[in-house]
Amino acid sequence: MTERFFLYDETESTTTRYISFMGEHQRFDLALIQTDHYYGKRIVLDIQGSRFAIIGRDDLDEPGYLEQVFKLTGEEAAELRDFLYEVI
């Protein structure tokens, strides 16, 4: 077996916030993980949809980003985007 080449192998403390809310179009069950590793961005996990993304405010401004990453309709993504603007 060949030797592994690690790009990084770090351990750090994180803060995780679990949130569940019902929008007009969909229920969202999320985990928001705050870490220093991604330059102030949060890891957003869609627990029910088994999808995740590293998201900062700049990503929320990117047209179509949430729709693509979380496989949402425009209306569903708008609800999620509004919520994430409040917490990120």
pLDDT in tens, the chain (88 residues): 789 999 989 999 999 999 999 999 999 999 999 999 998 899 999 999 999 999 999 999 999 999 999 999 999 999 999 999 999 9
- Sign of the alpha-carbon dihedral angle for 77, 82, 86, 88: positive
CA–CA distance, 18 with 47 (Å, rounded to integer)? 10
- The maximal CA–CA distance of the chain, rounded, in angstroms, is 53
The confidence score (pLDDT) of residue 34 equals 96
The confidence score (pLDDT) of residue 29 equals 98
The confidence score (pLDDT) of residue 1 equals 73
The confidence score (pLDDT) of residue 2 equals 85
The confidence score (pLDDT) of residue 17 equals 97
CB-based burial of residue 5 (10 Å sphere; 0-12 exposed, 13-18 middle, 19+ buried)? exposed
The confidence score (pLDDT) of residue 64 equals 97
